[in-house]
Each structure stands twice: as C-alpha cells, then as structure tokens.
C-alpha cells in the first residue's frame, strides 16, 4: 500500500466568495507561455448548480494551474489566504485535541498510581 498523504478540504458555498476567490480569477487567467514541471499543491473542484464537476490541478507557486489539458496563471491570492487560514485553524484544533488527549492520559496514569 502506498503512503497516505494528509489533506485538507476547503469548501466555499457562498456565491459571492466563490465568484471573488475562484470564478473571477479563472476568467482573468492568461495562458502560461512556458509551463514547467510544477509541484502539485492540490486540486480545485468546481461543482455547478446542475451538479456537473470540473477539476483543476493547482500548482506551487500559487496561481499556476492546469485546466482541460492547458496551463494557465492567475491571481489566486484571495483563495490562497482562505486556504492558509483554514489549514492554520485545522492545525490549531488538532494540536489542541492532542494536548487534551495527552492530559487525559496523564490523569489516568496518575490515578492508577494513587490506587
């Protein structure tokens, strides 16, 4: 079995946020004149009201992506900020949960020694 990669999912459901962070930058994109061997950051899946899906491959550096077999570049700085904030919040919650579990384990061991 292959190694499982950690992942996070960001879901935009607000139409104005979707327009600002995703749809407008896609419309304003320009073809990448010299596509390179970019590192893949993740995918962006757009689900339209009729439930059709389009998946776009996002690269590092931010703004570079592949759509329909072609390479483009745009300003995804707003989407980047939302993703980074979401990842930061998720990491903080995981660390908090881990600290609570560790504290619970210490309390149980302490009670076990006191018996």
Task: Collect the ranges in the chain with pLDDT lower than 70.
Answer: 1-8, 105-115
Alpha-carbon span 41 to 80, nearest angstrom: 11
On whether residue 3 sits in a domain, the answer given is no
61 DSSP 8-state letter? S
Alpha-carbon span 40 to 35, nearest angstrom: 13
On whether residue 39 sits in a domain, the answer given is yes
On whether residue 10 sits in a domain, the answer given is no
On whether residue 87 sits in a domain, the answer given is yes
| The predicted structure's pLDDT at residue 114 | 63
Whether this prediction's pTM lies above 0.85 is answered by no
The answer to whether 76 touches 63, Cβ cutoff 8 Å, is yes
- Domain range for 27: 15-114
> Into how many domains does the chain fold?
1
């Amino acid at each position: 079995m292959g190694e499982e990669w950690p992942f996070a999912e960001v879901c935009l459901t607000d139409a104005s946020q979707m327009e600002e962070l995703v749809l407008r930058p896609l419309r304003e994109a320009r073809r990448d004149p010299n596509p390179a061997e970019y590192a893949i950051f993740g995918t962006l899946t757009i689900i339209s009201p009729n439930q059709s899906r389009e998946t776009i491959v996002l690269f590092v550096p931010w703004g570079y992506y592949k759509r329909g077999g072609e390479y483009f570049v745009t300003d995804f700085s707003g989407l980047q900020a939302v993703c980074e904030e979401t990842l930061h919040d998720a990491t903080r919650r995981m660390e908090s949960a881990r600290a609570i579990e560790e504290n619970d384990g210490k309390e149980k061991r302490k009670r076990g020694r006191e018996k």
